[in-house]
Amino acid sequence: MDKIKIKGKKRLVGEVQISGAKNAALPILASALLCDGKSVFHNVPDLVDVRSILMLSEELGAKTEMKDGVVAIDSSGLNNHLAPYEIVRKMRASILVLGPLVARLGKACVSLPGGCAIGARPVNLHIEGLEKLGAEVHISHGYINACAKRLKGNEINFDTVTVTGTENLMMAAALAQGETILRNAAMEPEITALAEVLNLMGADISGAGTSEIVVNGVDKLNPVETEIIPDRIETGTFMIASAVTGGDVLIKKCRPDHLGEVISKVRDTGTFVETGKDWIRVKGVDEIKSIDIKTSPYPGFPTDMQAQFITLMSIAKGVSTIKETIFENRFIHVNELQRMGADIYLPSSNTAVVRGVKELAGAPVMASDLRASACLVLAGLAAENTTIVNRVYHLDRGYERMEDKLKSLGAHIERIK
């Protein structure tokens, strides 16, 4: 299994380009299952999770190609409604084929994703929403079986804000008969990006990016050619990489308007942040100030940036309180940071109190999930001596060529096969 070796304390300087967003690419690639014909997507990041959704699409009968960031999906031959456990267990976001399959084929049999390192992560809201749209759903032998001759529009009120739940039901409703209203919908930029692609396909969706989305179902959608938005979490991760190394990094091809709360919090730490239309420059300072963070759905502070921010707070001056409100078990990285000398304690399962230390010390550490692995790489960049991050396959699920990009900024980092 690959590992990443980092010799820390190297100031990062230079320019880096942000890749297409994983969390926008996954639902948008799944949406290609909704129409006959070949859709083409540009700026698709080459990630393990993207490969997984393409493998799943092939399994369902679509033809896919991926080359140099361009993905083509031809779903004319879609003929299989079974999303098997072997693929779904590798990537929870495989659940995104549920809505498209029922809408297009009238049936779906999708493995339940099961638990994951950061908590239970149920899919009850996806299922209840499909039932509201008239699907008959039953669960047996670990699989969700759903069928409907044609889905019918309805009002769906989400109890909890769910990103992939909103996306799944928006896709299903796009081909339903009549009007669907999604209330308490997620407002993430990835939701707006998916709605824009669906509208390009011929759907009639309004309100995406607000908490109420209205979908007027249409009979048919057409293939499209379009581009994936930049990854706001990768952008935020490079912002912290510059801040923790006292660096000076120009982050290009990004969307500062998708990172309002992250930019504001990084600025509150005293770090210098300048923004343009599609770039962010982050200059580290000698003394980072401790600040408090509470994660919440967009436009709040993203849970996917919580682990990276804890690394920054580990070497800040003062005490910082980090509250996680989205997932129940998202502090697994804390144990590993403690092994590098961070002073963190968890007064409750959703709160971390971080007392900044002068310096972290390099150590062998183990990544437990995608964003935790990014936080450990960042800690390695900031720490004295050598850090070895094990189980780096988590990183490859969501960051495109991260070590190459860091190396081009001057980091001493290498992958050990």
Residue 242 interacting with ligand UD1 (CB under 6 A) = no
Closest approach of ligand UD1 to the CB of residue 303, in Å: 5
Q: Is 24 left (phi over 0), alpha (psi -120 to 50) or beta?
A: alpha
Q: In this complex, which beta carbon is closest to ligand UD1, that of residue 279 or of residue 298?
A: 298
Q: Which of 35, 109, 116, 254 is catalytic?
A: 116
Answer whether 316's CB lies under 8 Å from 289's CB: yes
Closest approach of ligand UD1 to the CB of residue 286, in Å: 33
How far is residue 108's CA from residue 100's CA, in Å, rounded to a whole number?
A: 9
Binding residue for ligand UD1 (CB under 6 A) from 88, 93, 193, 215? 93
How far is residue 198's CA from residue 170's CA, in Å, rounded to a whole number?
A: 9
Residue 90 interacting with ligand UD1 (CB under 6 A) = no
Binding residue for ligand UD1 (CB under 6 A) from 4, 26, 169, 266? 26
Which residues within the stretch 272-311 sit at the binding site for ligand UD1 (CB under 6 A)?
303-304
Binding residue for ligand UD1 (CB under 6 A) from 8, 12, 23, 362? 23
Closest approach of ligand UD1 to the CB of residue 89, in Å: 14
Binding mask 326-365 for ligand UD1 (x = CB under 6 A): xx--------------------------------------
CA distances from 120 to 90, 328, 329 (A): 15, 8, 9
Residue 126 interacting with ligand UD1 (CB under 6 A) = yes
3-state helix, strand, coil in the chain (%, to 5): 35, 30, 35
Residue 125 interacting with ligand UD1 (CB under 6 A) = yes
Amino acid 88 reads V
In the residue annotation, 116 being an active-site residue is answered as: yes
How far is residue 97's CA from residue 88's CA, in Å, rounded to a whole number?
A: 10
Binding residue for ligand UD1 (CB under 6 A) from 11, 121, 267, 294? 121
Which residues within the stretch 154-183 sit at the binding site for ligand UD1 (CB under 6 A)?
160, 162-165
> 3-class SS at 238?
helix
Residue 123 interacting with ligand UD1 (CB under 6 A) = yes
Q: In this complex, which beta carbon is closest to ligand UD1, that of residue 74 or of residue 304?
A: 304
Residue 25 interacting with ligand UD1 (CB under 6 A) = no
Q: If residue 8 lies in a helix (H) or strand (E), which one and from where to where? A: none
Closest approach of ligand UD1 to the CB of residue 76, in Å: 26
How far is residue 78's CA from residue 291's CA, in Å, rounded to a whole number?
A: 51
Residue 197 interacting with ligand UD1 (CB under 6 A) = no
Q: In this complex, which beta carbon is closest to ligand UD1, that of residue 73 or of residue 382?
A: 73
In whole angstroms, how large is the CA radius of gyration of the chain?
Answer: 21
Closest approach of ligand UD1 to the CB of residue 117, in Å: 12
How far is residue 17's CA from residue 229's CA, in Å, rounded to a whole number?
A: 13
Residue 122 interacting with ligand UD1 (CB under 6 A) = yes
DSSP 302-343: -GGGHHHHHHHHHTSBSEEEEE--S-TT--HHHHHHHHTT-E
Answer whether 237's CB lies under 8 Å from 378's CB: yes
# binding residues, ligand UD1 (CB under 6 A)? 19
> What's the burial of 412, exposed, middle or buried (CB within 10 Å: 0-12/13-18/19+)?
middle
* Active site positions, annotated: 116
Name the residues that contact ligand UD1, by CB under 6 A: 23, 26, 92-93, 121-126, 160, 162-165, 303-304, 326-327
